[in-house]
Amino acid sequence: TSSPRFAAVDLGASSGRVMVGRVGPDSLDLKEVHRFPNTPVRTGPTLHWDILALYAGVLEGLRAAGQVASVGIDSWAVDYGLLDADGALLGNPVHYRDRRTEGIAEQVWSRVPAHELYGATGLQYAPFNTLFQLVAARGTPQFAAARHAVLIPDLIAYWLTGELGTELTNASTTQLLDPRTGKWAHEVAGRVGIDLDLFPALRRPGDPAGLLLPHVLEETGLRGPVPVTAVASHDTASAVAAVPAAADADFAYLCTGTWSLAGLELDAPVLTEASREANFTNELGIDGTVRYLRNIMGLWLLQECLRAWRHPDPADLLAAAADAEPLRSVVDAGAPEFLAPGRMPDRIAEACRASGQPAPSTPAETTRCVLDSLALAHRRAVEDAQRLAGRSVDAVHLVGGGARNALLCQLTADACGLPVLAGPAEASALGNVLVQARAHGLLADRAEARALVARSQPPTRYEPRGGSARWRAAEERLIGRDRLGRGR
Ligand code: LFR
């Protein structure tokens, strides 16, 4: 008998893909059957997701996938669509890089002080947290007509099945959920005037999420019934689920792509004031785990440079960057000033000048500056996470698209002074498949799933090459010796 096939829909900030994963007792393989661009569209002042283009890509991908045992959907976090009383979409979902939330956090903090908000939700400050987006949207006619707020993967699932739900790992990024209980934070929501009934009922990774509707079967050529299974629908939660670590390993992870998400898997949230000040977040993973991590701008910095330079060959650029002077100048790759699109090479040069460092002037120099800065931010996050959670690690698992970037992997190993185990690059899609496989009785638990990834897609090992004093010096140049000294 052949191994069951699962379709993983994985929507990223720059492209979406449908992959087919085949899970056998001792094998796991993943094949991309369809990839499509995700191009945000600005109308007036507002940056939107082109959600119908994404949904069309999903349908085409399911057609290309052929008959599968189940479908799972993951995407970036925090964003949502509003539905009216008939279930019709009200406007295009707004992109988390849109500026409508500027100044909103301050309004919220005047009602619920930032430290109380952190204590109740465990979430880092980011201008795009769903809470702030909802407060920004409130008062518009569109919002007045809304009966449901549906997170992006749940919206795709709704169109496929007609069933509404709110998947837990993604709900944990809204800043409206209590990470200690996995239940909505009613008290906070009440104080800022957000109606939590807007969100459909919570469901967990592995829960059934309905069956493909007849017209979907017809459009995709699939034979029913085909179930949709809730996975860890936050792409980062799916990626962490696929980290190929042994059950007893003490590891940090870096999920690299448009963002770098750097942190630890914990049993309980860290809600201390020091953790809030360090802007660490407590999002939820599978099996009641906590993803204790920090958001770092990630390869977005490079993607935006490539766009500004009109897309030179990235391989040539990375080769030139590898030969460029190391650590000549670095920027704070965690700074929200890099969130919005546009003019990225200039903004990076300006940030270098502002901190008294030489401004990179060629694409190779700028690329080196970005990769050094990312590696440095990885180092800081891995160190801070260990200190704040009172844990220590002996390796860093680097998964996601950045695992294909050998220079980034090596620099990260050097900066962290730890071995980096790189891969799989398609961790989100793999995590998506693994949760479906487990829900279908093929895997016993998380440890077995990870062991299967480690066997079938062994990571590439990068050893640190020494020179930790140079990284420390670069860090001091950027942050200032005083601030660095604090708490260390
Ligand atoms: C990564 C990611 C991050 C989240 C950001 C915005 O794709 O999901 O985890 O903070 O996108 O949603």
- What does the pLDDT look like over 101-110, one tens digit per residue? 999 999 999 9
**Would you state the torsion angle of the CA atoms of residues 413, 416, 417, 423, taken in this order, to the nearest 10 degrees?**
-30
Longest dimension (CA), the chain: 65
Indicate the helix (H) or strand (E) that contains 218.
Answer: helix 214-220
Q: According to the model, what pLDDT value does residue 483 have?
A: 64
Q: According to the model, what pLDDT value does residue 480 have?
A: 75
- Rounded distance between C-alpha atoms, residue 172 and residue 206, angstroms: 16
Q: Which ligand 1 atom is the nearest neighbour of the CA of 261?
A: 9
* pTM over cut 0.90: yes
pLDDT tens digits, one per residue of 399-453: 999 999 999 999 999 999 999 999 999 999 999 999 999 999 999 999 999 999 9
Q: Which ranges constitute the DSSP H helices of 12-103?
A: 51-65
Nearest CA to ligand 1 atom 8: 76
Does the pLDDT value for residue 488 go beyond 60? no
Q: According to the model, what pLDDT value does residue 449 have?
A: 97
Quote the ligand 1 centre to 253 CA distance (angstroms). Answer: 15
Q: What is the pLDDT confidence band of residue 481, given thresholds at 50, 70 and 90?
A: low
Does the pLDDT value for residue 487 go beyond 60? no
**Please, are residues 180 and 231 in contact by the beta-carbon 8 Å criterion?**
no
Assess whether the C-beta atom of 38 lies below 6 angstroms from ligand 1. no
Question: Angle CA(394)–CA(255)–CA(47) in degrees, nearest 5?
Answer: 155
Q: According to the model, what pLDDT value does residue 2 have?
A: 78
Length of the chain: 488
Does the pLDDT value for residue 124 go beyond 90? yes
Look-up: residue for tokens 């049993």? 267
Does the pLDDT value for residue 206 go beyond 70? yes
Report the DSSP pairing between strands 227-229 and 208-211.
Answer: antiparallel
- Rounded distance between C-alpha atoms, residue 58 and residue 264, angstroms: 32
Q: According to the model, what pLDDT value does residue 1 have?
A: 55
pLDDT tens digits, one per residue of 9-36: 999 999 999 999 999 988 999 999 999 9
Assess whether the C-beta atom of 77 lies below 6 angstroms from ligand 1. yes
Quote the ligand 1 centre to 466 CA distance (angstroms). Answer: 32
Q: According to the model, what pLDDT value does residue 100 have?
A: 96
Q: According to the model, what pLDDT value does residue 482 have?
A: 59
Q: According to the model, what pLDDT value does residue 486 have?
A: 47
Share the mean pLDDT of the chain. 96
